[in-house]
Amino acid sequence: MLEKPFRLDGKCILVVGAGTGIGKGVALELARQGADVAISYSGSVQGAADAVEQIKGMGRRAVALQANIGLVADCRRVVDEAVKYLGGLDGLFNNAGLTFTKPFEQVSEEEFNRIYEVNIRGQFFTCQQAVPYMVKRGKELQSRYPNRPWAGGSIVNMSSVHGAAGFFGHSVYAGTKGAINAFGRELAVELCNQHIRVNVLAPGSIEVASYFKSDPNYTREMGNSMVPWGRVGLPEDVGYLATYLLSDAAEFMTGHTLYFDGGLTAKMAIDYKPPEGAR
């Protein structure tokens, strides 16, 4: 039986795409649960610096690394630099991603390529670079604690409800999320013999700063109204599930896509209003 299976004490984790929004929320929650965290960011310099300051304030180690995850060389470099700083790698949370809303007929080749480069190629090559470090980490832990079974490394790749259901203007984005789901399932099978588990986290409506920027009319009440559960999700909600998937408590879980959406994908798209007074 594992001691404190839900805690992340002593774990070294890289969160890719953590300067703002969901990634930042996840990085902070991982630190709250005891992990040392390296975060990568693209352009959110201040957001990344703020995350590092907060994590260090919790008594954990943290570093921010700038990277363009659309470039394979940067995927490899950011993993290498994270390991150099942390001293090893137990977990990888792949959050970097791009999106835009545009009718299928109007999507340009450049737009198509850019989203696939970041959303799927970025995940592929950060995972590829991370695996040998996780294997090495496992050997070190087994040597240091011969009587304690190694729970394995953990990779969590971010997808979306758009990988399961259609929505106008998301032909390119949805395609990348479907690819991430299939890639995660395949990678989980391939890495079982190396004792590294791979799961995909697919959130629905998670309120981040960009919601308010892209739609000046957006309000929390509007967000709540779109979710069957009655409230919009928040970055810390994703952090709770990410913490579980990266913890030893999830040692027997691999190859799954978890839709984390307040019932969004479970609900039929038919516009139906229940009788007044019904709940």
Residues with a catalytic annotation lie at 159-160, 173, 177
CA-angle at 185, arms to 183 and 189, nearest 5°: 110
Q: Which residue is associated with the tokens 């959406």?
A: 261
Tokens encoding 67: 């990277």
Task: Give yes or no for a contact between 181 and 258, defined as CB atoms under 8 angstroms apart.
Answer: no
Helix (H) / strand (E) containing 16: strand 12-16
Task: Give yes or no for a contact between 244 and 6, defined as CB atoms under 8 angstroms apart.
Answer: yes
- Burial degree of 20 (CB within 10 A; 0-12, 13-18, 19+): buried
CA distance linking residue 35 with residue 154, whole number of Å: 13
Task: Give yes or no for a contact between 160 and 166, defined as CB atoms under 8 angstroms apart.
Answer: no
Q: What is residue 223's three-state secondary structure?
A: helix
Q: What is residue 199's three-state secondary structure?
A: strand
CA distance linking residue 159 with residue 259, whole number of Å: 9
